[in-house]
Structure 1
Amino acid sequence: MIRYHQAALRRIMPNCFLCSTLVSLVILSGCQSFGGKKNDLGALTAAPPNADEGASPIQQVSYVDAARESTKKVINFVALREQEDLAKGKELYQAADKKFREAKELSGDEAKKAFYAASKLFRRASEAAPETALQQDAMFMRAESEFFADRLNDAAETYGTLQKTFPRNRHNDLVTARLFTISKYWIETVKAEEGSWNFVNLTDHKRPLTDADGHAIRLLDQIRYDDPTGKLADDATMAAAAEQIRQKKYSKADEFLTDLRETYTDSDHLFLAHLLGIRCKLEIYAGPKYSGLILEEADKLVKQTRERFPDKMQDEKYAEILARAAAEIDFHQSERIAYRAEFREKKQEYGAARYYYNQLLEKHQGSPHAEVARERLAKIEALPDVPVRRLSWLKTVFPDSTASSPLEPTFDADGNRNPSGGETLLR
């Protein structure tokens, strides 16, 4: 019985809440304040004048526009956003700009509080003038105010909204620089706190709630997406790749480095992208039991690096790095062939095993597996290519059913059935 009443209450409470909300809206829209002034929501929800049924098409369109405007005003009212008013937006922008200039003259916590107060005014100004140049400037100045107030997470979000609302806006270069600075700060913060137990940030407005390095990589990727031909696009790509390498996410790092090599061919990071790309591919390689395509890519990249940067190869340090990478690739490739040879030998497929051992001697003479290949070749030289089938006499006793097609009769050139050709269902 108690459970029944509890279930009934759970069904009734949402409806009661909805009814009370609607009643409140009706009261607000229909009543006047104590001073005799009509409530704002009542004015917003009032029906348009002369909305009779016999209106012309032009009047009906105007009624639809009026209803749309009323709906927009109600939404702004409920969401606590500034109503659309260009003149009001200009006033708010001027007040915010004045507050911003005053904050620049202050220092310490007072300056941060003043910048944050200015950001609120800029937010209201941007809401009052949507889809205008004023909104663009107000959004940018709001983000700048949050940036100087050390609310970097809020600033990054506002910068991102600005880039999404106004692609390729006139503040693009500075926005990109700010996002790059914020991402680098978050990465350095994570590095400084590496090994600590601070999983959730609840006090510092300069950092995200969690996963600061992940947010930093997303900002760097956003820079590449919003301004792929900008001054910092290749820097952002390289920084994202370096952070992925630090986190040992070599597959994702390889994607960033490949993009840098193919897209930003005149970047200052191009040579480093080749070196790190080789290292990432070698780290991605999972062993002889798995695909060797990544080794082929690494080998191709080593050759490409030597061809594209002959001046760098004069430096002994870089020449040695590439030589070691090439030797490591050669070792892994010989290991793959040795693994295949050993696998075939265990299955007594000595012909295939000899083939792989000979490949080792031809292509990888200097590898450690070459000496093993010589020894194994000497031992299996006289063995048969394929293993001898056991109980082969059973095949003569029980013929193979796939040797003939008993249900397919044979016909001659004239279309007559050949009685001597092929077995049938009865023969």
Structure 2
Amino acid sequence: METGSITTPFGRRSMTLGMLASQVMAGEIKPDQSVDKWKLFRALCEAKPLLGISDRALAVLNALLSFYPKNELAQENGLIVFPSNIQLSLRTHGMAEQTVRRHLAALVEAGLLLRKDSPNGKRYVRRDRAGEVNEAFGFSLAPLLARAEEIERLAAEVMAERLHVQRLRERITLCRRDIAKLIEAAVEEDVQGDWQGLYLEFRDLVEGVPRSPTTAQLELLLDELTALRAEILKQLEMRMKSTKQRGNADYIERHIQNSNPESTTELEPSFETKHGATPEQDNGRGAVTMEEGRGEIAHPSRQEERQGRRPGARDDAGGLKSFPLGLVLQACPEILAYGANGEIRNWRDLMTAAVTVRSMLGVSPSAYEEAANAMGPENAATVMACILERGGHINSAGGYLRDLTRRSEKGEFAIGPMLMALLRANAPAGRKAG
């Protein structure tokens, strides 16, 4: 049985105030206090980040607990275990004895064990004639019993923190999904706005977080993503309200106005063009204009609205919705090399470059003509630019184009997701989509 006296370590090991405090605390254990050793060990495993102990130190502690004969740690059962280092090595699956000693020292330093060294430093037990333990020298588990409530409280804190982080990550994932899909929908529906800027801001937020973020960093990211999502939703809601308010007036105007159904006016609402692409008036086409001092894309002409036709909508021939030229060139910059002087200034330049690319990739004229008939010439050129951009991943450009043509005829193909994927892949350094 334990004497409760203060003991000092054997040999060259020095006595510290921390060891003294642990022995004083162990002497204050209530006589009836007890705890299940394995439940306490599980709590220790949860609380180890706050206790500053390693997995291997816990493995050594688990071996020590296995030498304690009872399931309940209690003062009346004695709290000293005295296995040799060889026995501990066997129960830690062959851990080297030197490593065992190092982790035993770490457990003592963490205040989870006490040394009760014999005069010669050996671990052994003295028994009386009845076989009962009279005095034992080894390691005392008393600190575990004395700190049981503290350990369980720390374990609860760690589990609560883990659950909080898990919920933060779930909410961040939902925010990321919402923002990406809302921006994609806005681009596909030709909603006016700086969607490229918002997308790059979104990527900056996501990629600015370290690989192993702290809880505070996750909370800040969630707040910023929530604010960005609210801003995007606000712009989309304003667009929806504006469309709803003028819906009846536009409907009446389209029926009264004697519009020209043969008009081929096409407008190109787009992001600010980059990669050498500059909006310019083309023969037979309306030009993209910029509002002075604002750098924003102008609204579609009233003539097109009176025709009852939204820019980018599917036309009478079943063509796909067209996308801004600037966006196409940002997503597919490799097509610029096939333009005159390395520039593509309008849709005609893009279609000319697409014909060159078609020949270079071995796409037959008939396949390209079928694509132009099914999708429209601008969209066919856009698809050729996308195929060129992904050339290393496509075995047969001609077969791939014919497949897209068939899917387009069935209404099963949309260019938007393809462009958005390439835009993410070709984002500037530090902003590349993951």
TM-score using structure 1 length: 0.18
Query: Which of the pair is proportionally richer in strand?
Result: 2
Task: Say which structure is richer in helix.
Answer: 1
TM-score by length of structure 2 reads 0.18
Greater RCO, CA 8 A, separation 6+ = 2
